[in-house]
Structure 1
Amino acid sequence: MRREVTAGLGLAALVFLGLQGLHQLLPVLVLAAILGMVFLMAQGRLAGGRPFALQASGGQGGMPPIGFEAIGGQEVAKRELMEALDFLRRSDEAAALGIRPLKGILLAGPPGTGKTLMARAAASYTQSVFLAASGSQFVEMYAGVGAQRIRQLFSQAKKQAKKEGRASAIIFIDELEVLGGKRGRHTSHLEYDQTLNELLVQMDGITPSEEVQVLVIGATNRPDLLDPALLRPGRFDRTVRVDLPDKEGRRHILAIHAQGKPLAADVDLDELARETYGFSGAHLESLLNEGAILAMRQGAREISARHLREAVDKVLLGEKLDRRPRETERRRVAYHEMGHALVSELGRPGSVSVVTLSPRGRALGYMRQTPEDDPYLYTKEELEHQIDVCLGGAAAEELVFASRSTGAVGDFEQAVDLALRMILAGMSSLGIVSRELVPDELLHQESHRILKRREARVRALLAEHREALEAAAQELLQEEKLSGDRIRQLLQAAPQPASR
């Protein structure tokens, strides 16, 4: 800020001297002003240059420190990271055994899984100074700014550690793929490559003999985009996967974020963890927060299971919309969603959680399933069942209205992806295949064959249970929301087909 003020005062003085008639000094002053502006640009102080966000592990300023015990759902990742950090904590023992200290650790995983929290916990665990920056902060339109900022960041880390009497400093770089993408992709902007080169040089310069040991922790959602030079041993030595939590991990995360929130007696966190398959830690935190907001809006003193079920839908699809479709569209949507639900329930009893006609986001209605457990592998039968569920909506529309609608576009895309997955896993008549060697036309023909066979089965299944489909769709039109238990009651009450 002082430099910008000084530049402004210099320009004001230049104008004043010009008005006083000191024309002979004017060229010299103009040249000095231009050189000053160029210097400020090189330092990244002008044209939107931003300083780095500094966070000391002791919590002076910024966010308070956090420990690994406050991070749920990542037990394997935490254990792997803590083992790597022990080389920094027990540097004397490591040096006695001739162990080279780690220079960098890469945290890779989907958004919202807690990579930033784990980096902050690493600083607390090692009693290190913590500096955080994002990859986008290093890239500017002026040549040399990114490389200069890399040098500033490493210098600032060492100075701050010495000032606080710390033996180590952790530099956390989020969105590392922006800074460390593969070189040669940005042919019109070499600033990216220069910045990455400077990071490589600075990491190579980290030696165990330095007074302050510096560890770089990077976070990315796309490790495949990173330059290979970053990932070689001696730079980012370890890659720690920070994946979506499993059911036990989700239960742990929910328990952490439920602290301080008055939950009603009907709230079952185990059941909630089971229903939130695929949620990240950020999604789960938002879920409990939205449940609390709904309770406050309704004047409740406790967060009930009803509030949390509503919050699950909101986190998945968004807020309820005020628009109301035409009655003919509502009928079509009701049969469409019940087609999904009945096929799901007939193929895997107990799988339907809720079906609703309430428009949310871009959906006019939806059917939410509850997985039995967190799957890691799928059999051919399981993938075929998922395809059947995708095709059930359009098949129900065709059965009742003798036509389809554009509401099935997303379902068809998902069904095609599942069919392709079956083919590439060797579950089709093509046998074991390679994606690179099989012509696209052959893949299309085989996908079409799989989908036609599953579509015929779904049509026959819904035709057999037409009465259950009619009864459930009519009740859905009246109630706008049906639980999985109610759908199962309607299915059992309907006359069973003779073939069953």
Structure 2
Amino acid sequence: MRNRTMAWPEFAIGLSIVVLVFLAYIGINVWPIVIAAAAIGILAFAAQYRSKATSMTDGSGSARSKSRSAKVQSIGFNRIGGQDRAKHELIEALDFLVRPEAIKKFGIRPLKGILLTGPPGTGKTLMAKAAASYADAVFLGASGSEFVEMYVGVGAGRIRSLFKDARQLAVKEKKENAIIFIDEIDVIGGKREGGQQKEYDQTLNQLLTEMDGLYADETPRILIMAATNRKEMLDGALLRPGRFDRHIQVDLPDKKGRQHILELHTQNKPLADEVQLEKIAEETFGFSGAQLESVLNEGAIYAMREEKEQIEMRHLSLAIDKVMMGEKTDRETNQEERRRVALHELGHAIVAELVRPGSVSQVSLSPRGQALGYVRHQPQQEKYLYTLPFLEEQIMISLGGAVAEEMFYGHRSTGSQGDFDQALNIVETMVNAGLTSLGIVKMKHVSIEALSGEMNTIMEQLTTRTRQMLEQHRDTFQHSLEKLIQDEQLSGDDFRCLICESKQLPA
């Protein structure tokens, strides 16, 4: 049967040729017929090709959406550490999906969109997946960059397909809820200013249109979740009530949150008895959840390299340094440079211990990243507000390396460039906060001359204070220098012992 069907086109072509030959034989001009038949054939072929391309595009897009949904593993909020406030706020918002009867009873307008904002690596995508698990909803994830192409209308079409796929998947899996998650929404949801970004505007307009078309009484119910690191870049039409109603800040975890994250990620890792997760949480101030996971992963790699049975504390200490500073480099320095770097780092460490006792975690001469040496500090307690004395101390710690070089060499080196950048950034923060003699001002209203003069005054005053402080502890430099050069690394406790010993030495 199949062979007979396949033979019909060949039979038709053969019959057409016979008819054309007969017509030409009896004197009829067949060229118009030939040209018309060729044109019809070309148009039919083009239509068939376009239909195939469209079906392939739609099919791949649908398959891609289904694969995104199928690959999502069930993850609960209990598997996300360090975000208790954000999780509580998100669960409260998801109850609008889980409890539709209560919404009707109190006349509450259901939420259409939830925006997760915060630094990279804080778990925004994980929270979106956990939300789908909590609400028993199908999950479709996409990145903002997936909707951006040079062809007009492509992004808007993909937005339509995404919402269509969400409804179809929910019906197919017999679920009443669907969650669409758009990561990096600032790519398509940036502020519209006209000009050259027409395609971006069409994509954003289509997203707004789809969100306006979501109603509480329709089934399946669809909730839009999005994530961004740059909320200030988003268009106001996205942020107004009725679109993204809830804005949930997903911040960097505090010490308690960091310890919880570490505990979650160490469940499948063999840890030595000496490992103290609380101490690691203290030393990783400012780390995101992704960075903490990387610390444990790198620590396991160090243990595997040494063919150890368990991950030891020193492995995790090396991992913290690697995540913060980068991998060790093969830079070879001569003896004089090595001595200068050692004095530079001791300058930072001595000032830090004098203004904040117990804050130095490690002094190292191992080159990492762009640094030839470094001092790792551990905060005594979490701080979110900074006073003028605290900021001045921070600047003095940054200046300690350059001042130490001046004390022993009479001049500085290019190794202080990063320290000066850090110090000047702190001074700029002081100006913005109204903590300088300029008073309460806006940075854009301060002239360059006035700003430079204020910065120079502050830097000179603090440099003088730093020099006076270090001059009183020259013996500490002499007592610690050779030990640091020989061992290449001093722990915070060892360094503090050296300071105490130098104080007991006769002048």
Q: Normalised by the size of structure 1, how large is the TM-score?
A: 0.90
Partners of 1:33 and 1:330 in 2: CA distance? 74
Amino acid at match of 2:164: S
What SS does structure 1 have at the residue aligned with 2:444? coil
Q: CA deviation at 1:402?
A: 1.4
- Is 1:119–2:131 an aligned residue pair? no
Q: CA deviation at 1:433?
A: 2.0
Amino acid at match of 2:182: I
Match of 1:481 in 2: 489
Partners of 1:43 and 1:55 in 2: CA distance? 18
Structure of greater Rg: 2
- Is 1:104–2:101 an aligned residue pair? no
Partners of 1:400 and 1:279 in 2: CA distance? 36
Match of 1:224 in 2: 232
CA contact (8 A) 1:44 1:145 kept: no
CA contact (8 A) 1:383 1:418 kept: yes
Superimposed CA distance per residue, residues 96-119 of structure 1 (whole angstroms, 9 cap, x where no aligned partner) = 211111000000000000000000
Amino acid at match of 2:107: G
Match of 1:158 in 2: 167
Partners of 1:352 and 1:83 in 2: CA distance? 42
Q: CA deviation at 1:174?
A: 0.3
Aligned residue among 148, 158, 176 for 2:185: 176
Partners of 1:129 and 1:190 in 2: CA distance? 32
CA contact (8 A) 1:56 1:129 kept: no
What SS does structure 2 have at the residue aligned with 1:436? helix
Aligned residue among 401, 404, 412 for 2:412: 404
- Is 1:493–2:505 an aligned residue pair? no
CA contact (8 A) 2:68 2:141 kept: no
Amino acid at match of 1:469: F
Amino acid at match of 1:213: R
Change (3 A) 1:479 1:44: farther
Partners of 1:361 and 1:68 in 2: CA distance? 36
What SS does structure 1 have at the residue aligned with 2:331? coil
Stretch deviating more after TM superposition (312-321 or 197-206): 312-321
Partners of 1:322 and 1:409 in 2: CA distance? 22
- Is 1:248–2:256 an aligned residue pair? yes
Superimposed CA distance per residue, residues 298-344 of structure 1 (whole angstroms, 9 cap, x where no aligned partner) = 01111111111011011111111122222222111111111111110
Partners of 1:77 and 1:274 in 2: CA distance? 22
CA contact (8 A) 1:257 1:288 kept: yes
Q: CA deviation at 1:49?
A: 7.9
Superimposed CA distance per residue, residues 358-416 of structure 1 (whole angstroms, 9 cap, x where no aligned partner) = 11111111100000111010111110010001111111111111121111111101100
Aligned residue among 250, 254, 258 for 2:266: 258
CA contact (8 A) 2:139 2:179 kept: yes
- Is 1:371–2:361 an aligned residue pair? no
Stretch deviating more after TM superposition (400-409 or 194-203): 400-409
Partners of 2:475 and 2:42 in 1: CA distance? 88
For residues 138-217 of structure 1, the aligned pairs below 5 Å read 138-184=147-193, 187-217=195-225
Aligned residue among 44, 48, 73 for 2:82: 73
Change (3 A) 1:128 1:243: same
Partners of 1:220 and 1:84 in 2: CA distance? 18
Aligned residue among 284, 290, 293 for 1:276: 284
Match of 1:434 in 2: 442
Q: CA deviation at 1:345?
A: 0.6
Q: CA deviation at 1:23?
A: 6.2
Amino acid at match of 1:116: T
Partners of 2:68 and 2:427 in 1: CA distance? 51
Partners of 1:211 and 1:426 in 2: CA distance? 54
Match of 2:297 in 1: 289
Identical positions, percent:
53
Aligned residue among 350, 358, 362 for 1:342: 350
Change (3 A) 1:44 1:474: farther
Aligned residue among 461, 471, 480 for 1:472: 480
Amino acid at match of 2:424: V
Amino acid at match of 1:45: T
Structure 1 or 2: more helix by fraction: 2
CA contact (8 A) 2:112 2:244 kept: yes
Partners of 1:190 and 1:478 in 2: CA distance? 63
Change (3 A) 1:240 1:55: farther
Q: CA deviation at 1:224?
A: 0.5
CA contact (8 A) 2:353 2:359 kept: yes
CA contact (8 A) 2:159 2:207 kept: yes
Partners of 1:49 and 1:162 in 2: CA distance? 18
Q: Normalised by the size of structure 2, how large is the TM-score?
A: 0.89
Segments of 5+ residues of structure 1 without an aligned counterpart are: 1-16
- Taking only aligned residues, the RMSD between alpha carbons, in angstroms, comes to 2.3
What SS does structure 2 have at the residue aligned with 1:494? helix
CA contact (8 A) 1:343 1:458 kept: yes
What SS does structure 1 have at the residue aligned with 2:357? coil
Aligned residue among 23, 27, 32 for 2:39: 27
Superimposed CA distance per residue, residues 405-451 of structure 1 (whole angstroms, 9 cap, x where no aligned partner) = 11111110110011111122222122222223322321221111111
Match of 1:10 in 2: none
Partners of 2:408 and 2:48 in 1: CA distance? 76
Change (3 A) 1:374 1:38: farther
Q: How many residues align?
A: 475
Change (3 A) 1:41 1:475: farther
- Is 1:445–2:453 an aligned residue pair? yes
Partners of 1:402 and 1:173 in 2: CA distance? 57
